[in-house]
Chains A and B, each alone.
Chain A
Amino acid sequence: MEQHLNNAVEAIQQKFNAESRSFREQVTLHLNNDQIIPACKMLRDEFSFNILTDETAVDYWGRKEPRFEIMYQLHCREHDIRLFLRTGVSEENPSLPSMTEVFPNANWYEREIWDLFGIKFEGHPDLRRLLLPKDWEGHPLRKDQAIKVEETRFSFNYKEVDPGKPRAKR
């Protein structure tokens, strides 16, 4: 089990020159944008990592360059091991090749990332909003977007609060 994971990590490191970090048996590999798709293909075909269990994004606003990091989590069923891959995406050009050609279930993960972070995926068959309404403007999970706190409306202040509420029909 461990041996299989070590084999896979060594092969990726040799071929793509990736750096690997390990924390309590959880191994993360850092790659570049254009290396991700070939690396996942290699892991899927040669080392039988056949499920993409998760794909999310993290926003390091002001703390780290590049600003966004996309994290992929691969799982090998026969040996029961997991591997994490990370790439950085910059703010000026937030786009990345899509993972749907390698793992088709990345479709909804990438739609969610586009909806909440604004990171485009090239080659995605159907990139539109998943969780928010269709006509929503903005990408709420970025750290520089306000969370839109609304003032609570009571019976003693509803006359002052109502004009600030966009949907109130009173």
Chain B
Amino acid sequence: MGLEEKAGNLGFVTTTLEKVVNWSRTRAMWPLLSGLACCAIEMMAAQSSHYDMSRFGMELMRASPRQSDLLIVAGRVTNKMAPVLVRLYDQMPVPKWVIAMGDCASNGGIFNNYAILQGVDEILPVDVYVAGCPPRPEALINGILVLHDKVQQEKITEYSR
């Protein structure tokens, strides 16, 4: 989005452009297949036909970080997996967002010991936290809608990731 940042504040042109850009970003946000543990089952259930996530634009989940915008950290992150997750996040192109799904990704959950990272926000900047162990598919969809609201409020001239 270099052109818009360089153009600066052009009044109503920029705001209309912002609205269009943000609208289009929310309508086709592809998540990365990053299910680590039990929350991944709920993420799969949310993607399947009963609680459909494709109606929100997430038609498919990409296996490659180079082709995805959204990283849903679903499940507990161990200390051995943490640098791998940071590497995946670094490989995603801007714009990118992170949802911490479940209790273990938000703050360690019921595991408070030497092996589990206490919250994925120690290593990644998180946008939305979804609580639950595991969160119901409807709760995950609610989290995605909250993320959509957040993206609609973004200003393209101040994008910094």
Interface residue ranges, A against B (CB under 8 Å): 131-133, 136, 140, 147-150, 152-153, 165, 167-169
Contact = CB atoms under 8 A, between A and B. Distances in A.
12 contacts: A133-B80, A136-B79, A148-B113, A149-B112, A150-B112, A150-B118, A152-B107, A152-B118, A153-B107, A165-B122, A167-B117, A169-B123
Interface of B: 79-80, 82, 107-108, 112-115, 117-119, 122-123
Given A133-B80, A152-B108, A153-B107, A165 B114 contact: no
Contacts of A165: 118, 122
Contacts of B122: 165, 167-169
A153 B118 contact: yes
B124 to A, nearest CB: 9
A33 B118 CA distance: 41
A152 B106 CA distance: 10
A167 B119 CA distance: 11
Given A152-B107, A165-B122, A167-B122, A133 B113 contact: no
Nearest to A132: B80
B80 A149 contact: no
B47 to A, nearest CB: 30
Contacts, number: 34
Nearest to B81: A133
A61 to B, nearest CB: 17
Contacts of A136: 79
B22 to A, nearest CB: 26
B108 A150 contact: yes
Contacts of B79: 132-133, 136
Given A133-B79, A165-B118, A165-B122, 9 more contacts: A132-B80, A133-B80, A140-B114, A148-B113, A148-B114, A150-B112, A153-B118, A153-B119, A167-B123
Nearest to B80: A133
B115 A132 contact: yes
A132 B82 CA distance: 12
Contacts of B112: 149-150, 152
B108 to A, nearest CB: 7
Contacts of A133: 79-80
Nearest to A150: B118
B107 to A, nearest CB: 6
A165 B120 CA distance: 13
Nearest to A161: B118
A152 B122 CA distance: 12
A168 B108 CA distance: 13
Contacts of B113: 147-149
Nearest to B123: A167
A167 B82 contact: yes
B60 to A, nearest CB: 31
A140 B80 CA distance: 15
A132 B116 CA distance: 11
